[in-house]
Amino acid sequence: MGTCDRKLLELLICPLTGSSLRYHAQAQELVSRKARLAYPVREGVPIMLADEARSLNEDEI
């Protein structure tokens, strides 16, 4: 993700909890520790739908 994209990521919050997100570059995901979900980033576009997110394991939180 480029510089502009980093600014976008700073503005995004988890749609379920309203908490901040952490970007995991290797997995191409936005992680919400509070919701225990990882939202995918596809072709540079964050998919902020709970139905598209994967549940995090305890060791990923």
Structure confidence by residue, pLDDT tens digits, 7-51: 787 789 999 999 999 999 899 999 999 999 999 998 888 999 999
d(CA 18, CA 58): 21
Q: What is the pLDDT of residue 38?
A: 97
Among residues 48, 37, 36, which one has the least CA distance to residue 8?
48
Range of the domain at 42: 3-60
Q: What is the pLDDT confidence band of residue 1, given thresholds at 50, 70 and 90?
A: low
Global pTM reads 0.85
CATH label of the domain that carries residue 40: 2.20.25.10
Quote the number of domains for the chain: 1
